Amino acid sequence: MTVLVTGGAGYIGMHTVAELVAHGEPVVVVDDLSTGHWPAGLFDVPFYSLDIQDGEAVGTVMARHGVDAVVHFAAKSLVGESVRDPLLYYERNVAATAQLLRAMVRQGVRRMVFSSTAAVYGHPGRVPIQEDDPKQPVNPYGETKLAIERMLRWGGDAYGISAISLRYFNAAGAHPELPIGEDHRPETHLIPILMQVALGQREAVTIFGSDYDTPDGTCVRDYIHVMDLASAHRLALERLRRVDAGVEVYNLGTGSGHSVLEVVRVARSVTGHPIPVAFGPRRAGDPAVLVASPARAQAVLGWRPRYTGMEDMVSTAWRWHKSHPEGFGTAGGP
């Protein structure tokens, strides 16, 4: 009963590996290292540098390790990049997942936890967003994640695959003890950018838009700690093994939102750095407010986020960035 984690060298994937290992779950990781970093020696789990489009090789890994479930993170995940190069997202997200599912069907592996996103909702008609609200993605990233959710639904019926899609809101923070955290090149996410300003690596943060219909004019997001995302994956796996769940989707957020300016204020207090801001134009495709209703995940998965305060998210992120100013490339390794 081994779990195959695809994209286990990425930010959320790696924290999920840490969570599964801490709970005694046998894990094997495949990642093509196109954007991830594998902290060699930190986890005692087999690692294969593989592209999931190589279904034969991935199938061999499944057979060799007795895999019974896949937690599927491997994907492209930048909204801006997806708008500039949508075919890349259809190839690397949709087509690659079809290859992975083929390998699963061939190997008789019938459980998948899938890494989805709040971007499937587009501009929400109401907040907090519930899972059955309309899905109208406004960029190819969200569109390809939704296409995969639908592929899982059809695949569930046709091949008897049970799947749980987890729609993340804004992942944030870092492992409270292990030397792992967020490291994207180039960095586009708010909290790591604030950490870079506090480290003196950037002059200021540009806030994308100050005239949104929100209390302070800046966008509101539902930030969710990466360790809480990780525990949701573990609970989803447990559910897939316990019941024939069919195909299910769950929002993962705290249910409360923070504006960009609120996050900046918390980052100033956690880091003790003044963190100058500049106001710039809106970023294309940014909805004003994205807040989850996590009620379904709480009721059905028994999920209870632990690190719900913005302080928890920023202080664990700061711990990682301060000790690893160059991310995984920092001298001395992870």
Alpha-helical regions (H) of the chain:
11-22, 55-65, 79-84, 86-89, 96-107, 140-159, 190-198, 226-242, 260-271, 295-296, 310-323
Residues whose CB falls within 8 Å of the CB of residue 68, separated by 6 or more in sequence, listed in order: 1, 2, 3, 109, 111, 241
Q: Report if residue 193 touches ligand UDP, rule: CB under 6 A.
A: yes
Q: Report if residue 197 touches ligand UDP, rule: CB under 6 A.
A: no
Q: Report if residue 317 touches ligand UDP, rule: CB under 6 A.
A: no
Output the smallest distance, CB 88 to ligand UDP, in A: 18
Q: What are phi and psi of 154, to 5 degrees?
A: -65, -40
Residues 82/145, Cβ–Cβ less than 8 Å: no
* Minimum CB distance to ligand UDP smaller for 54 or for 228: 228
Binding mask 38-77 for ligand UDP (x = CB under 6 A): ----------------------------------------
Single out the segment in contact with ligand UDP by CB under 6 A; choices: 90-98, 134-142, 174-182, 204-212. 204-212
Based on the residue annotation, tell me whether 250 is a catalytic residue of this protein.
no
One-letter amino acid for residue 210 of the chain: S
* Nearest one of 108, 75, 107 to 94, comparing CA atoms: 75
**Binding footprint of ligand UDP, residue count (CB under 6 A):** 15
Q: Which residue has the tokens 């980052």?
A: 267
Q: Restricting to residues 170-189, which ones interact with ligand UDP according to CB under 6 A?
A: 170, 188-189
Q: Restricting to residues 71-100, which ones interact with ligand UDP according to CB under 6 A?
A: 79
Q: Report if residue 206 touches ligand UDP, rule: CB under 6 A.
A: yes
Residues that bind ligand UDP (CB under 6 A): 79, 170, 188-190, 193, 205-208, 219, 221, 260, 283, 286
Residues with a known catalytic role = 141
